[in-house]
Structure 1
Amino acid sequence: MTISETIDNPPDLIRLTDDTLHLRLAGDWLAGSLPLTLREVEDALSGKTPGSIRFETKDLQTWDSGLLTFLIALKKLCDAREIAFDDGNLPDGARRLLALASAVPEQQAGKGSSRAPLLERVADRALAAWKSVVDMLDFLGEVTLACGRLLTGRARFRRSDLWAIMRECGADALPIVSLISALVGLIFAFVGAVQLSMFGAEIYVASLVAIAVVRVMGAIMTGIIMAGRTGAAFAARIGTMQVNEEIDALATLGISPIDFLVLPRIIALVVMMPLLCLYADLMGILGGLAVGVFMLDLNLGEYLEMTKLAVGLKDFWIGLFHSAVFGVLVALSGCLRGLQCGRSASAVGDAATSAVVTGIVNIIVATAVITVICNILGI
């Protein structure tokens, strides 16, 4: 036996037959003037639970987001009451939009995502670390091949870019290197004077400042300055090119991004870092001299003579070797992070930050390794 019931309000739009609720979508369904509301459908379902809802759309004329909003709310109502939602008679556009809206879950405001288990987090960190190591080794391999092409005259980069980068890494960095190096020498002299004055040996402040600055501290401070100044600039510039798809364009033209972008920066820093290190050594010694002569009342000639006796040629070579290694590490860190940059503006900032951190960590680790090697070799 067939049960047919027509709801009077609104007329002829809602009809219940057997186990199916029929909704007739007629006329214009526009936002702000819908012929039917969800509340009226709920009233029609009061005390009744049909098995499905179907639509009659032969009289439907124009519709916009108002119809879609109504259908989304109605589908949620059907899901809550376990009523089958039959959208077969809906317009194709409305059906596709409804499927798209149902495919993307709503974000629950005020509710944080559940934290992953400890083992899962550890595994994710381990996989990320392994991927980072693989990417770094792959990058080092490409740089090695690029250096081979450079030695054979097949590397492709603009000489004008090399000179411009050398100027940026060298002459443009002199003011900040001067300031930091002089202050470091001044601080060493102050610290040494506090201890040596207890034994009446203030004159050895000159030896302390000279050997510390020339052998390692001048190179370390120069490397840290260049990591924060030049390494970040390399990462930001190459990262911006990655965002603008300029690196993809180079690869499309058959030009190796390693040759064109990375190689000139490595050459520039390897050449300029030893020169900056020598300049930093001089400024550090002058900073210590200012403290010794003007605050400890040491004789200028005696201070310079003690500095000469304390520093040997091997100390200069060790400092220059430190600086050359630091130049390679800073250039590699900045270029690697720039090439790994994502495709957004925030990714450029992240790449610059990561380049600075990576460069400084590499400098400290390299200093420890070189110091141990020098100790083993007795130099």
Structure 2
Amino acid sequence: MLTFILGISKLCAARGIEFNSGQLPQGVKRLLLLALASPPRSDEHDGEARPSFLIRIADHALSACHTAIDMAAFLGEATSAFGRLLTGQARFRRRDLLLIIQECSSQALPIVSLISLLVGLILAFVGAVQLVMFGAQIYVASLVGIAIVRVMGAIMTGIIMAGRTGSAFAARLGTMQVNEEIDALTTLGVSPVEFLVLPRILALVLMMPLLCLYADFMGILGGLVVGVFMLDLNVMEYLNMTQKAVRLQDFWIGLFHSAVFGVLVALAGCLRGMQCGRSASAVGNATTSAVVTGIVSIIVATAVITVICNVLGI
């Protein structure tokens, strides 16, 4: 109604007609005067020139420096909290740790089972396309076993946990940031990194190797399905070939991958959650950024560990 009256007032002013508001209620009169008194909106950027290329580069460089400083500060706080944990001085609720462990372990088994089984099937199919041409389809077992146990099982588990658990960490901490719960912890003298971040890092680091072992089993099972039903291989023959191909150090390398991925995913999710703004859109942005940061960190860490293993000859 007020918008309609305001439109009539402006129309009368444009045509030189007197607008009489004497019969309107006092509240409507005040709102109408307030609306007429506000200046018209103008685009602030109409007359501004676009920043130069060098200025844009400098802005991006400064933003990257600030991000690096924030990440270094957060990593230092997390390391300090872990040191206090080793000395028995860290303050967090053990019940929260057990709850997060449950969320990171048993509740993640269905999606880990499905993805790992399908990855094993895909690797077996891809290897069989070439190996069948030479009558060497038995080596599909070696291909799947080494690839899954050494790196693919850990990578797929890490990516799954980055999309499932890392995003959940960022969303929860971001929501607490919006509700000012983290500010309340700081006011009470409780370190948010100790109380909120440390249990999540511990839970993911402890559970990732176990999930990786389970993913290895499901991946080998997927390759077994292809080898037995598509390549006419014997079950025991496939398992014996896998046992000969996979070494114990391959398992340890895969477990080391998974532990590193657990640290990276937890740090990425908690960092983006702690950096979240004070709005609902900021929570969504923090969740997306946590997933992207976690996956990129996993790929970079995989490349680094692979180069190190190559240099060391393992």
- The TM-score, its normalising length taken from structure 1, stands at 0.74
Matched, 1:258 2:206: no
Unaligned runs of 5+ in 2: 17-25
Q: 2: CA distance between counterparts of 1:193 and 1:39?
A: 83
SS at match of 1:270: helix
- Paired residues in the alignment total 299
Q: Deviations over 1:224-247 (max 9, x none)?
A: 000000000000000000000000
Cα distance, 1:372–1:112 mapped onto 2, change above 3 Å? farther
Instruction: Classify 1:295/1:144 alpha carbon distance in 2 versus 1 (closer, same or farther; 3 Å).
Output: same
Q: Find the partner of 2:210 among 265, 268, 275.
A: 275
- Identity rate, percent: 73
Q: Does 1:190 align with 2:125?
A: yes
Instruction: Give the one of 125, 135, 138 matched to 1:200.
Output: 135
State the distance in 2 between where 1:110 and 1:328 align: 44
User: Which stretches in structure 1 are left out of the alignment for 5+ residues?
Assistant: 1-29, 41-60, 73-100
Per the TM alignment, residue 142 of structure 1 is displaced from its structure 2 partner at its CA by 0.3
Counterpart in the other structure of 2:30: 64
**Aligned counterparts of 1:359 and 1:171: Cα–Cα separation in 2:** 21
Whichever of the two has the greater Rg, that structure is 1
- CA gap 1:351/1:33 in 2 versus in 1, 3 angstroms: closer
Give the one of 94, 97, 105 matched to 1:159: 94
Q: Deviation digits for residues 309-333 of structure 1, max 9, x if unmatched? A: 0011100000000000000000000
Q: Which residue of 2 aligns with 1:171?
A: 106
1:307 paired residue number: 242
CA deviations on 1:39-84 (whole Å, 9 max, x unpaired) are 77xxxxxxxxxxxxxxxxxxxx9973444555x4xxxxxxxxxxxx
| Structure 2 residue aligned with 1:43 | none
* Paired residue secondary structure (1:157): coil
Q: Which has the higher contact order (CA 8 A, sep 6+)?
A: 2
Query: Aligned-residue CA RMSD in angstroms?
Result: 2.5
User: Match for 2:58 among 118, 123, 131?
Assistant: 123
- Structure 2 equivalent of residue 368 of structure 1: 303
Task: Work out which of the residue numbers 246, 249, 254 in structure 1 matches 2:184.
Answer: 249
State the 1:253 CA deviation: 0.9
SS at 1:64 equivalent: helix
Q: Among residues 222, 227, 230, which one is paired with 1:287 in the alignment? A: 222
Q: Which amino acid aligns with 1:202?
A: Q
Q: Which runs of 4+ in 1 moved over 3 A?
A: 30-34, 36-40, 65-70, 107-115
Q: Give 1:123 shift.
A: 1.0
Q: Give the corresponding residue for 1:146.
A: 81
Of Structure 1 and Structure 2, the greater strand share is in 1
Structure with the largest fraction of helix: 2
Please state how far the C-alpha of 1:107 moved relative to its aligned partner.
Answer: 3.8
